[in-house]
Structure 1
Amino acid sequence: MPRLINKIHILSLISLLLIATFLAGCNSGKTPEAQPSNNPPAGSTPATTTPTPSADTPSSSTSQSVKITLYFPNSDASGLIPVERTVQVANQEVIKAMFTELSSPPAGLESPLPKGTTLLNATVKDGVATLDLSGDFKKNFGGGSSAEVMTMYSIVNTLTTLSDVHSVQFLLEGKKLDGILGSLDTSAPLTRNDSLISKTN
Structure 2
Amino acid sequence: MQKTLTQWTAVLLVGTGLLLGGCGAAQTTHPDAPKNGQTVTQQDKKADQSKTSQFTLYRAGRGGKLTAGTVKISGNRDQLPLQLMKELVEKKPEGDTTFPKGLKVNKVTVKDKVATVDFSREFRTRRGDQDTLLMLYAIVDTLTELPEIKSVQFTSAGKKVTVLGGQDLDSPLKRNQSYIAK
TM-score by shorter chain over 0.5? yes
Instruction: Give distance in 1, aligned partners of 2:155 and 2:86.
Output: 18
The alignment status of 1:157 with 2:144, answered yes or no, reads no
1:197–1:105 distance in 2 versus 1, CA, 3 Å: same
Look up the equivalent residue of 1:65 and give its one-letter code: T
Counterpart secondary structure, 2:53: strand
Kindly indicate whether residue 72 of structure 2 is the aligned counterpart of residue 86 of structure 1. yes
Q: What's the RMSD between the two structures over aligned residues?
A: 2.5
1:172 deviates by 1.3
Larger radius of gyration: 1
- Structure 2 Cα separation of the partners of residues 105 and 120 of structure 1: 16
Structure-2 change in CA distance of 1:149 and 1:135 (3 Å): same
| CA gap 1:144/1:123 in 2 versus in 1, 3 angstroms | same
Asked if 1:172 is matched to 2:159, the reply is no
Q: What is the total number of aligned residue pairs between the two structures?
A: 143
Structure 2 residue runs of 5 or longer lacking an equivalent are 1-28, 33-40
Offset of residue 168 of structure 1: 0.1
State the alpha-carbon separation in 2 of the partners of residues 72 and 185 from structure 1. 21
Residue 132 of structure 2: SS of its match in structure 1?
Answer: helix
Aligned residue runs from structure 1 range 174-189, under 5 A: 174-179=158-163, 181-189=164-172
Question: 2:128 is matched with which residue?
Answer: 144
Length-normalised TM-score, structure 2: 0.69
1:74 to 54, 61, 84: 61
Contact 1:102 1:112 in 2 (8 A): no
Query: What is the match of residue 178 of structure 2?
Result: 195
Cα distance in 2, alignment partners of residues 168 and 100 from structure 1:
15
Listed one character per residue, the Cα deviations across residues 69-119 of structure 1 (whole Å, up to 9, x for unaligned) are: 00001145x100011121222453111211122133457x73532122122
What is the identity, as a one-letter code, of the residue corresponding to 2:87?
A: E
The match for 1:64 is 51
Per the alignment, do residues 157 and 82 of structure 1 end up closer, same or farther by CA in structure 2, a change over 3 Å counting?
same
Q: What is the match of residue 116 of structure 1?
A: 102
Whether the 8 Å contact between 1:133 and 1:172 is mirrored in structure 2 is yes
Judging by fraction of residues, say which structure has more helix. 2
Distance in 2 separating the partners of 1:124 and 1:111: 27
Q: What do residues 30-61 of structure 1 show as CA deviations (whole Å, max 9, x unaligned)?
A: xxxxxxxxxxxxxxxxxxxxxx9886x84354
Does the CA contact (< 8 Å) of 1:132 and 1:172 recur in 2? Answer: yes
| TM score, norm. by length of structure 1 | 0.63
Mind listing any 5+ residue stretches in structure 1 that lack a counterpart? Answer: 1-51
Contact persistence 1:115–1:137 (CA under 8 A) = no
